Amino acid sequence: MSKRDYYEVLGVGKSASDPEIKSAYRKLALKYHPDRNPGDKAAEEQFKEAAEAYSVLADGDKRQRYDRFGHAGVGSASQGGQGFDPSVFTGFEDIFGGLGDIFGFGDAFGGGRRRGGPARGSDLRYDLEISFDESARGTETSIQIPRQESCETCSGTGAAAGTKPQTCPGCHGRGQVRFQQGFFTMARTCGQCRGTGQFVASPCATCRGAGSVEKQRKLTVKIPPGIATGQRLRLTQEGEAGAAGGPPGDLYVVIHVQDHDFFVRDGNDLHCEVPISFPTAALGGTITVPGPFDEQNLNIPEGTQTGTSFRLRNHGMPDVSGRGKGDLLVTVRVKTPAKLSKEQKKLLEQLSAALPEVPATPTSKDDRDERGLFDRVKDIFG
């Protein structure tokens, strides 16, 4: 069976540039790859044909011989496909521009990265509970965490004194072993070194060859004012030790703020409720309101209704980034006396008699809103 022209196979002209040839092959390889066409023999043959054409036209010398002598000029590549060279896939991952990782081609064709190099250590999480006052003012505290640290005895190598890790004989330091499967060159993690590319013949007695040991680490954590529940602090390189000389991971301290008996936080604003007396609500006055840092005076206007809220600007929680403070919102609740003396009852009865009559059941919400505090007291004690 005669072989098709390689330029025809890739769908390019004889004057095509190297990038054009590479792009054409990339499209065909993606379209006809066996992983995307399982069981489709026709697609498999087209994939082989495209790979064979690319192996010739992507090589300057082979292409020159092919242009002069045709299939006869490129040797075994013209023998009915029997000379198909899997090494054409050496640069497969580069050809696919990173798509090899998506489709799993990188490992399949031996393009996987070596696993035995330096690796960053794992990140750690620590949950820290603080009081409301500590979150408002900021604080500094000590924590103790268990973590894997580089073994000081062997300096993290895992090898006993006077020795060092040796190159794995199974994979020759690559961390992978390759084997032929059909026309593919496959790769898998080396079972002897577990992908590290090295093995320790004489393990360190302290870490037993692991290169790291667990230790308790005491750290000082600075809590900025205004921090809230769920926010976290990052302590760079305070996580677990890296492998093979890699950098440590990071430690993330996740904050949990205890609830306050008086304040409720909403962003950087604080909400609270304070009781006021009936005379203060009716006649007006000044009350003292506790704040997260100091007490504040709040003016109560005459005729204030229960449930009225007042805003004290810049008296809330500090912004954790240092940009100002939130507000303190104070809701007043008129406190009705539970016990009255005879004299107090008499005075209230006199007040009730002096006030205008108001229907006992308002006919609308507006009616209810218009009723003053005196009317409510009259209903209670009238």
The 3-class SS string of the chain reads CCCCCHHHHHCCCCCCCHHHHHHHHHHHHHHHCCCCCCCCHHHHHHHHHHHHHHHHHCCHHHHHHHHHHHHHHHHHHHCCCCCCCHHHHCCHHHHCCCHHHHHCHHHHCCCCCCCCCCECCCCEEEEEEECHHHHHHCEEEEEEEEEEEECCCCCCCCECCCCCCEECCCCCCCCEEEEEECCEEEEEECCCCCCCCEECCCECCCCCCCCEEEEEEEEEEEECCCCCCCCEEEECCCCCCCECCCCCCCEEEEEEECCCCCCEEECCEEEEEEEEEHHHHHHCEEEEECCCCCCEEEEECCCCCCCCEEEECCCCCECCCCCCECCEEEEEEEECCCCCCHHHHHHHHHHHHHCCCCCCCCCCHHHHHHCCHHHHHHHHHC
Write out pLDDT tens, residues 50-88: 888 898 898 888 888 888 778 877 764 444 433 344 444
Please tell me the predicted confidence (pLDDT) of residue 93.
41
Instruction: Kindly report the CATH class assigned to 6-108.
Output: mainly alpha
Answer whether residue 137 shows pLDDT above 90.
Answer: yes
Topology, domain 116-160+208-259: HSP40/DNAj peptide-binding domain (2.60.260)
Closest by alpha carbon to 63, among 25, 24, 19, 6?
6
CATH value of 260-335 in 3.30.470.20, 2.60.260.20, 3.40.50.300, 1.10.357.10: 2.60.260.20
Answer whether residue 356 shows pLDDT above 50.
Answer: yes
Query: Taking the domains of the chain in order of start, what are their residue ranges?
Result: 6-108, 116-160+208-259, 166-199, 260-335, 339-382
Write out pLDDT tens, residues 179-189: 765 556 677 78
Mean pLDDT of 165-174: 82
Greater confidence (273 vs 159) lies with 273
Please tell me the predicted confidence (pLDDT) of residue 263.
96
Mean pLDDT of 260-273: 96
Please tell me the predicted confidence (pLDDT) of residue 140.
96
Reported confidence tier of residue 331, pLDDT bands at 50, 70, 90: very high
Residue 380 makes CB contacts below 8 A (sequence gap 6+) with: 336
Reported confidence tier of residue 293, pLDDT bands at 50, 70, 90: very high
Is there a shared CATH topology between the 116-160+208-259 domain and the 260-335 domain? yes
How many Å apart are CA 185 and CA 357, to the nearest integer? 98
How many Å apart are CA 356 and CA 371, to the nearest integer? 11
